[in-house]
Amino acid sequence: MAMWVFDDLVEGLFLVLLFLFLRLHFLLGLSMLSRKKHAVLVLHRTRSLDVWFHSTRTAAGCWSGTLIFIGVSEPDHRGAPAGCAADGRDGERCQCGRKLASHEFSTKSLREFVMRILEEEVEGRLLPLLESAMEKNEVLDLQDVLRRFAFETVCKVSLGVDPCCLDLSRPVPPLVRAFDRASEICAMRGMAPVYAVWKMKRAFNVGSERKLKESVQLVHSSVREIIQNKKRKLEEDRAEGDGGDLLTSLLSAGHGEEVVRDMVISFIMAGRDTTSAAMTWLFWLLSQHPPIESAIVAHVDSLYRNPLDFETLKEMNFVKACLCESMRLYPPVVWDSKHAAADDTLPDGTALREGDRVTYFPYGMGRMEHLWGKDRFEFRPDRWLEEPEADGGGPLKAVSPYKFPVFQAGPRVCLGKEMAFIQMKYVVASILRRFEIRPAGSNRPVFVPLLTAHMAGGFKVVVRKRSGGNEP
C-alpha cells in the first residue's frame, strides 16, 4: 500500500512539473510561430517538444496536405510488449520477422485454418451469445463482446490456444488485462510532450512505468509458457504437430524461441483491438443510417452461402466499402510515427534530420475536404464503389493507401490486412443477417484515441431479431 501511495505522489509531482514546462514551451512556441512565414514549424534543437504542422503546399508527393507533426526524439521501444513482424517498424530483426510473417500469411493452409476458426467462433459462440441477450432482453456491451471475440480468435490463430473470453460469466483473463494496460501506457508514452517524464519514471521504476514493466513481464511469461508447451507437444507427437496455427508453423520451421515469441505477440497486438474497434463503430454508424443498413443486408443476402467461404466473402464489396468508410471516420489507429534513419527531405521541401519523428494522423486525414470532398463528415460507403448497384454492390475503387493509410502503405503495409477484412466481413455479415443492433441510449459515443481507439464507456446495445432474419 505504501508503494502505491508513493507512486501516486511521484506522479503528482511529475504532472506539476510537466504543466510548468509545457506552459513555458507553449509561450516560446507562439513567439517563434509569429515570426514564421509558412505553416510548417519544425524544431530541431528541442528534444522535449513535438510540434504540429499542417503542410498546405501542393507540391508533388503523397505528403501534400497531410496532417503531420515533426519532433526530435530517439525511437525507444523498450518496455513495449510487442515484436515487429506485423507492424511497420524497420531494422534488421524487424525486416527478418516481416519476411517470415509474409510467408506464413500467404499460405493456403493458414487461410483455411482462419476460416475454420471463424466458423467455430461466430457460429458456436458469438451468435448464441447475441441470441441469449435478445431472448433475455439484456443490454449488452457490444464493444466488449467484439474485443473478446477478436482476442479469442487471434489467440487461436496465432497461438493455438483458447482463452474462452466469450464466456461472459468468467473473469477477463490476466493476459488480456496485461495487454490492455501495456497498450494504454505505451500510447501515453507516444503522446507525452516531455519524454523525460516517463523516462524518469522508468529509471526509478515507479508509477505507470512500473505497471508497464509488470504487464510486459506477464505477457512474455504467459506466451513463453505457451510456446514451451507447444514445443513439448510437437516433440512428443510429430505426427499430429501440424495444428494449423502460426505458432506451430513457426516452431516446426525451426525458428528461435525469442523470435517466435515476438512475432506471435506482434500478431496479437496488431489484430486484437483494431478489427473490434472498426466493427464497433460500423454497427453504431449503421444504426444511425437505416437505408444503408438495409442495403448492406440485401447485399449480404444476395451472396450468402451456408457456411460462408473465402470466395463468397471476397465478393462482399459493399460490406468492405462500409468498413472502409467506418475506418475513414473512426480509424482504429489514430496516429502512427516513423523516425528518420538519416537526413532527408519531404516532397514539399520540409527538411528532416536523423532522429526526427514524423507522425501522420489518419483521423485528421479522413476529415480533410480536399481529400474526401465537402461531404467528408458524412457516412457514405458508396464513395468507395466505382458504380454502385441496386443491391449496394459494385466494383470497388482503387484508393491510394497514402490517402487512406489505415493499414499503412508501401513496404510497411499491414501483413494481416486481407485477413482482417475477411474476419470483419464474416462477423458483420453473420450478425446483420440475423439481428438488428440498436444503441441502448441516445447519447453520441465519444471517440477515445489511444494506441487503439475505442468508445468511451463501451457501446451498450439491445439486440433484436431482424424482420425476416435467417436462422443460424
Give dist(CA 128, CA 97) in Å, integer: 38
Most confident by average pLDDT, 183-187, 298-302, 358-362: 298-302
The residue that leads in pLDDT, 160 or 255, is 160
The pLDDT, as a whole number, for residue 11 is 60
Instruction: Using pLDDT thresholds of 50, 70 and 90, give the confidence band for residue 188.
Output: confident
The pLDDT, as a whole number, for residue 343 is 92
Q: pLDDT tens for residues 386-437?
A: 877 666 667 899 999 999 999 988 888 888 899 999 999 999 999 999 999 9
The residue that leads in pLDDT, 51 or 240, is 240
Q: Does position 308 have pLDDT exceeding 80, yes or no?
A: yes
Residue from 216, 223, 221, 215 nearest 250 by CA: 223
The pLDDT, as a whole number, for residue 370 is 92
The pLDDT, as a whole number, for residue 286 is 97
- Using CA atoms, how far residue 47 sits from 36, 79, 114, 306, in Å, is 20, 20, 44, 57
Most confident by average pLDDT, 18-27, 62-71, 233-242, 293-302: 293-302
Q: pLDDT tens for residues 208-230?
A: 899 999 999 999 999 999 999 98
The answer on whether 414 is annotated among ligand-binding residues is yes
Q: Does position 47 have pLDDT exceeding 50, yes or no?
A: no
- 121 in Cβ contact with 156 (< 8 Å): yes
Domain 62-73+91-344+352-465 has CATH 1.10.1040.10: no
Q: Does position 313 have pLDDT exceeding 90, yes or no?
A: yes
Q: pLDDT tens for residues 111-154?
A: 889 999 999 999 999 999 999 999 999 999 999 999 999 999 99
Q: Mean pLDDT for the chain?
A: 79
Q: Does position 291 have pLDDT exceeding 90, yes or no?
A: yes
Q: Indicate the domain borders of the chain.
A: 62-73+91-344+352-465
Instruction: Using pLDDT thresholds of 50, 70 and 90, give the confidence band for residue 368.
Output: very high
Residue from 328, 308, 408, 468 nearest 84 by CA: 408
Q: Does position 266 have pLDDT exceeding 60, yes or no?
A: yes
- Is the CA virtual torsion 167, 172, 175, 176 positive or negative? positive
The pLDDT, as a whole number, for residue 249 is 84
Q: Taking residues 330-343, what's their average pLDDT?
A: 89
Q: Does position 192 have pLDDT exceeding 80, yes or no?
A: no
Q: pLDDT tens for residues 96-116?
A: 556 666 666 667 778 889 999
Give dist(CA 420, CA 270) in Å, integer: 10
Q: Give the residues across from 338 on adjacent strands.
A: 358
Report the predicted TM-score, pTM, of the whole model to 2 decimal places. Answer: 0.80
